[in-house]
Structures are given as structure tokens and as C-alpha cells.
């Protein structure tokens, strides 16, 4: 750790211990072994994140999109800025849209799925198609909801749209059925026997490719013309085409990690991010040769946190994710019960240096999300909300909670005599700080008022509300801090420093 010895205005000689370039949370080590001094990892970041510069930023606020009172379990778009969703009502799962609140009952189907159904959706043929295991599919195009009618009824658990075909698979099966080109009402069994059209419906059976008794757990489009078929323990990649004679398995893909939930798979730029039993993985094409496709683990820094969240989920099929490409963030939601949800967020490094960062959250107890263009939807126990930008001022915004690991500020056994604490922050809001020693005993608390105005950081006669340096006079071997950062717009914390009386 780089420190400097300075003389304060009161003539006290102190060493300055700065902490900045925050690296997100890291639970791979004990909190007593995380003090690195430079590029400091944190123990808790809730409802905020560390950006690629290492600056702590509070999560954006949100505004209510509708007055719905049901718990939203799945949400999607049917138009550029028009939403439809599945919500859990008293007797089952209902399907509804924005237009229900302005156009009436024709835009809501009450309790069409049983209680506890895990709903998924995809957009195909200018319609948003919803499905759940063992039940018929429904589609919505802004005019009304209607059941998708097939000669041989389709009751899939998983959906994906690839190369002008709707791909469906049932729960606990090994068969993927692909619709006729641009027509979700005709699948393999619906075609006339002996039909020779290359655009007819077809299927892919992976049972003899697995070598185990595994089953399909999810489907997703990958790149422009590939279908990823997930099982519990692996993922197979198929190259698709409107011409069914050109379908083939991609033998350059070797992915031996499966998924736990179809809804926990999301496209992230040219890659796929998804949740497995042991963490979050990324399927990507080799940057070296541009040919091989493989998976890499992303969440080794938060493996213990991930597993702890996983244990609290009763039905892992309810875990869902979405990717926010504007902010480069992969959000995963872990439902803890009827009303509580925890979120784990991966913030990707846009510079390509693989310096990814992690954070958690529970804002609005959101259960799912989806982004299209500049609009980001959040499904919550109180209807659908629009997530805003970090710089937008909203009436409802989260409080970011940050907790440092134990900071030793020198030798682990030495007794330190602290003098003051300095905060470097920008924006408008407040930062409440609590300090604890290495034995969890409280030391002190203070509040910093952050404003856009210049401040005098000396003690002197400056009003306390405008000081970014405060007296912090304690003795301890190690110390950790808890920051509560509140505001109504963009509020960032760049770093902080603790000054220790020098014994030189």
C-alpha cells in the first residue's frame, strides 16, 4: 500500500492510508484477508456497483409503469416500448399487457396457467409467445391474447427463436421440435407424411449424443444462426438454417457445464451468460482462432455468495437473468419466497481486460427484467417498473450499502492511533458511515453531506455538513467501515482515506 506522511494544520504528523479503485465484492477469501491497499476488493456492495474505473456508483432508481397489484414472474416486450408479462394471481398465473389498463379485459387472460408455473417467452413472427411446461402456448401481438393452435398440441417448457423457426422442448425430454419457417402453428407432427419441402417443421433428438440419462434444461439462440441446447451437465451447439437439410451439430463446441434454469440464460453481446450449479459461466468463441467455442467460469470471486443464494431458492427453475447491454451488466434474480428476492450482478469490463466486478441488490424486490433499446423493464411484486439511468433523479431510488473488509493499515498486530477519515465523492446526497474494529465493536458514526459545491476539507470553522474530512480518533488493530449512500440522482464515491498518527 502506498502511503505518505504529512503534517496536518494542527501540527500532527500522520500517515495517509488511501483506498480507491474498488474491485467489487470478493468472497473467495475471509474478510480479514482482503486488505490489498491498491485496487481494493469489498465485502459487500448492495444496490450499487463498482464501474470499470473502480468508482462506486449507486444503482439507478425506477418509476412505476402500471398500477398492477400482482407479482410479476416473467416480463417481455411485444413492441418497441410496450410490455407484456406473466403475473401470479390468487388462483394461478395470468397473462397481461400494458393495454389491459387502457383497453380492458381482452388484454388479460386470467389464471390460464396453474399456480407455481414457471413461464418463459420469446418473440417470433411479430408476436410474443408464452409457454410453461405441460400447458398450451399463448401469443400476443398488441390486439389480443390467443392460444397457439396446432394439430398436435404443443406444451413446451422452453422456447427460442432461431433462423426463422420457433424451437420448443418439453420438460424432462431430449427432443427439440422446430416449427415450419415463419409459422409457429406447424411442427414436425403437423406436416403431411412424405412432404419434401426443406422449410417444413423438423426436430433434433440429442438422446444418443449425451451418453448419459440427462435431459434438456433450456434453449437459447447463440450468435446469428446457432441454437444452444442446455442439459444439466453440458451444452450442445447446433448450426441452423431455414433449409432443414443444412442443420448440423457444431463439433468445434466443447461445453461441459449445463444450466439450472432456462430463464437464467441470456445473450450478452456475442456471448451467452448462464447460471450453472456452481456459478455463472460464459459461452464464447475463441478470440485466438475464431473457431472453437467453449465455456469459462465467471464467478469464482463470489462462488460462496452464489452458492449461498442458490441454497435459499426452493425451485431453481424460477431463477431468471437478463443482460443490460447499455451498462454491460448481467443481472440474476434469486427468489427467496413469496415477496423477497436477492439479485447478483456481474458488471463486465468494457476495456476487454477481464476486470469484471460483482455486486448484489434487492431494490424493489425485483424478480425479473428485460431490456429493449433504451427501455429496461423490472418485474416486481407490485407490477412492472421502468428502470431509469443512474443520472436520472427519481422519487424512488435505492440506498447503496458498501462494507469494506477488515483494513489493517500496516502490520496486523500493531495498535493504530487514527486521526481522521477523508471521503472523495461527487453528486448530491448523503453518505452515512459506521466504523467497527476487528472484533466487530462499534467505534463511531458520522454523516457526510455531498453536494456539487466546492468544500473546504479542513476542520476549522467550516460547517460539518460541508466537510469531507472528519475527526476519527480511535485505537484499534484493524477497522472496517459500512457506508450507506443515499441520493436522488448520480452519486459516486471515488475513494476514502484514513490518517494514522505517525510514530516515527
Mean pLDDT by 10 residues, the chain (504 residues): 63 86 93 89 96 93 85 94 93 94 88 96 97 97 94 94 97 96 94 91 95 96 96 97 95 95 96 96 91 94 95 95 96 92 95 87 96 96 94 93 95 92 90 96 92 53 56 95 92 92 74
CATH classification (class only), 4-60+402-501: mainly beta
CA distance 364 to 354: 30
CB atoms inside a 10 Å sphere around CB 309: 19
> For 260, which DSSP code?
S
What are φ and ψ of residue 502, in 5° steps? Answer: -80, 135
CA distance 227 to 164: 12
pTM of this structure: 0.93
Residues of the chain with CATH 2.130.10.10: 65-295
- Predicted confidence at residue 454, as pLDDT, reads 47
Residues of the chain with CATH 2.60.120: 4-60+402-501
Cell of 367: 424478480
Q: Are 220 and 228 in contact (CB under 8 A)?
A: yes
**What burial class does residue 287 get, using C-beta atoms within 10 Å of its C-beta: 0-12 exposed, 13-18 middle, 19+ buried?**
exposed
- Predicted confidence at residue 319, as pLDDT, reads 97
CATH classification (class only), 65-295: mainly beta
- Predicted confidence at residue 39, as pLDDT, reads 87
CA distance 247 to 272: 21
| 3-state SS assignment for residue 320 | strand
CA distance 10 to 403: 31
Instruction: Please list, in sequence order, all residues whose beta carbon lies within 8 angstroms of the beta carbon of residue 353, skipping any fewer than 6 positions away.
Output: none
Amino acid at each position: 500500500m502506498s502511503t505518505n506522511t504529512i503534517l496536518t494544520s494542527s501540527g500532527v504528523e500522520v500517515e495517509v492510508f488511501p483506498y480507491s479503485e474498488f474491485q467489487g465484492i470478493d468472497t473467495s477469501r475471509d474478510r480479514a484477508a482482503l486488505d490489498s491497499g491498491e485496487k481494493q476488493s469489498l465485502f459487500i456492495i448492495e444496490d450499487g456497483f463498482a464501474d470499470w474505473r473502480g468508482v462506486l456508483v449507486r444503482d439507478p432508481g425506477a418509476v412505476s409503469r402500471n398500477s398492477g397489484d400482482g407479482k410479476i414472474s416473467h416480463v417481455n416486450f411485444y413492441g418497441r416500448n410496450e410490455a407484456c408479462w406473466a403475473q401470479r394471481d390468487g388462483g394461478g398465473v395470468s397473462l397481461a399487457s400494458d393495454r389491459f389498463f387502457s383497453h380492458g379485459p381482452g388484454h388479460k387472460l386470467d389464471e390460464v396457467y396453474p399456480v407455481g408455473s414457471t413461464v418463459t417467452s420469446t418473440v417470433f413472427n411479430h408476436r410474443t409467445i408464452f409457454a410453461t411446461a405441460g400447458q398450451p402456448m399463448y401469443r400476443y401481438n398488441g390486439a389480443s391474447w390467443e392460444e397457439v393452435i396446432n394439430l398436435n398440441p404443443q406444451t413446451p417448457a422452453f422456447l427460442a427463436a432461431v433462423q426463422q423457426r420457433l424451437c420448443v422442448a418439453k420438460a424432462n425430454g431430449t427432443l427439440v421440435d422446430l416449427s415450419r419457417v415463419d409459422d409457429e402453428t406447424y411442427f414436425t407432427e403437423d406436416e403431411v407424411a412424405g412432404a419434401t419441402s426443406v422449410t417444413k417443421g423438423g426436430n433434433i433428438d440429442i438422446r444418443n449424443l449425451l451418453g448419459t440419462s440427462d435431459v434438456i434444461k433450456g434453449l437459447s439462440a447463440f450468435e446469428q444462426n446457432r441454437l444452444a441446447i442446455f442439459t444439466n451437465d453440458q451444452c450442445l451447439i447446433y448450426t441452423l438454417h431455414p433449409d432443414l437439410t443444412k442443420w448440423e451439430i457444431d463439433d468445434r463446441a466443447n461445453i461441459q457445464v449445463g444450466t439450472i434454469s432456462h430463464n437464467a440464460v441470456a445473450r450478452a453481446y456475442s456471448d451467452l451468460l448462464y447460471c450453472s450449479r456452481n456459478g455463472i459461466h460464459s459461452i464464447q468463441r475463441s478470440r485466438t482462432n475464431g473457431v472453437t467455442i467453449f465455456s469459462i467460469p465467471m464467478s469464482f470471486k463470489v462462488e460462496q455468495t452464489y452458492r449461498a443464494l442458490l441454497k435459499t431458492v426452493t425451485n431453481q427453475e424460477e431463477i431468471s437473468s437478463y443482460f443490460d447491454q447499455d451498462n454491460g451488466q448481467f443481472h440474476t434474480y434469486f427468489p427467496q419466497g413469496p415477496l423477497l428476492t436477492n439479485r447478483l450482478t456481474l458488471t463486465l469490463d468494457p476495456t476487454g481486460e477481464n476486470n469484471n466486478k460483482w455486486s448484489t441488490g434487492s431494490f424493489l424486490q425485483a424478480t425479473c427484467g428485460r431490456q429493449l433499446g433504451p427501455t429496461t423493464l423490472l418485474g416486481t411484486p407490485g407490477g412492472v417498473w421502468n428502470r431509469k439511468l443512474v443520472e436520472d433523479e427519481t422519487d424512488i431510488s435505492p440506498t447503496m450499502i458498501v462494507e469494506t473488509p477488515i483494513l489493517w493499515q500496516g502490520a496486523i498486530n500493531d495498535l493504530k492511533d487514527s486521526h481522521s477519515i477523508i471521503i472523495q465523492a461527487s453528486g448530491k446526497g448523503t453518505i452515512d458511515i459506521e466504523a467497527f474494529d476487528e472484533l466487530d465493536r462499534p467505534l463511531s458514526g458520522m454523516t457526510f453531506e455531498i453536494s456539487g459545491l466546492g468544500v473546504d476539507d479542513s476542520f476549522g470553522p467550516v460547517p460539518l455538513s460541508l466537510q469531507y474530512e472528519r475527526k476519527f480518533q480511535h485505537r484499534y488493530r484493524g477497522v472496517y467501515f459500512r457506508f450507506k449512500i443515499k441520493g436522488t440522482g448520480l452519486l459516486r464515491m471515488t475513494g476514502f482515506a484514513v490518517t494514522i498518527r505517525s510514530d516515527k
